[in-house]
Amino acid sequence: MKFFIDTANLDHIREANDLGILDGVTTNPSLMAKEGIKGQENILKHYVDICNIVDGDVSAEVIATDFEGMIKEGEALAELHPQIVVKIPMIKDGIKAIRYLTDKGIKTNCTLVFSAGQAILAAKAGATYVSPFIGRLDDISFDGVELIEQIVNIYNLHGFPTEVLAASIRNSMHIIKCAEAGADVVTCPLEPIMGLLSHPLTDSGLAKFLADHNK
């Protein structure tokens, strides 16, 4: 299973990368805005900065919502750096754009996926990744992890190569449940990743080992 960090914060990306467990980064327009990255030039430079920190796929989202706009933006994003994956929303023109970019050899991440039907379309269009948003489903009383299981089963059954990228992860338990469900990738902020580290028995066990050593 690959681990991506879901942030545009360069310090958080560096911290996760320094752990030696990071396989890539996902961003979205809200995450970019949260870091105060504004204006096309700054946005593009920020994607390159991210690519220069981590050795792996970096998802950069298009803003256009029409086919022509999405492919134009997608091609420009892909030109920025070989690690860029073009993130395209799950809408009708988005599916067409994924097919077009895939045929051009450009990697894509189909975002804002909330159903198995949408995931089937993304795979048929040739998306490199499909991003089901599990936290947002949980927020409205649907089981996000169940959707991951369903998509993983369908893709395995039919041999779709699209990777299931579990997104909108809110806590460490989500990561574990997505790993159990067979997600190819989880993407989450730094906190749930660090949350995996903690166990009180590790802390008390280490304290005892050190105390005994010093006796």
| Cα–Cα distances in angstroms (integers) from residue 47 to residues 5, 53, 69, 156, 203, in the given order | 14, 10, 19, 32, 38
Taking the CA of residue 126 as centre, how many other CA atoms within 13 Å lie in the half-sphere pointing to its CB? 13
Binds ligand E4P (CB under 6 A): choice among 130, 168, 178, 193: 168
φ/ψ of 53, rounded to 5, equals -90, -45
Binds ligand E4P (CB under 6 A): choice among 16, 32, 62, 167: 167
Catalytic residue among 34, 38, 45, 87: 87
Residue nearest to ligand E4P (CB): 168
Pattern 96-135, ligand E4P, x by CB under 6 A = ---------------x-------------------x-x-x
Tokens of 6: 């879901």
Q: Does 37 bind ligand E4P (CB under 6 A)?
A: no
- How far is it, in rounded angstroms, from Cα 184 to Cα 164? 5
CB of 208 to ligand E4P, least distance (A): 38
- How far is it, in rounded angstroms, from Cα 22 to Cα 210? 30
2 assigned to active site: no
- How far is it, in rounded angstroms, from Cα 101 to Cα 156? 24
CB of 192 to ligand E4P, least distance (A): 11
Look at residue 19 and give its three-state secondary structure.
Answer: helix
Pattern 6-35, ligand E4P, x by CB under 6 A = x-------------------x-x-------
Taking the CA of residue 151 as centre, how many other CA atoms within 13 Å lie in the half-sphere pointing to its CB? 35
- How far is it, in rounded angstroms, from Cα 56 to Cα 106? 15
CB of 127 to ligand E4P, least distance (A): 13
Nearest alpha carbon to residue 194 among 171, 215, 166, 167: 171
Can you name the residues that pair with 110 across neighbouring β-strands?
Answer: 88, 130
Pattern 63-102, ligand E4P, x by CB under 6 A = ----------------------------------------
Q: Does 187 bind ligand E4P (CB under 6 A)?
A: yes
CB of 215 to ligand E4P, least distance (A): 48
Nearer to ligand E4P, 78 or 134 (CB): 134
Q: Does 2 bind ligand E4P (CB under 6 A)?
A: no
Give the binding site for ligand E4P (CB under 6 A).
Answer: 6, 26, 28, 111, 131, 133, 135-136, 167-168, 187
Catalytic residue numbers?
Answer: 87
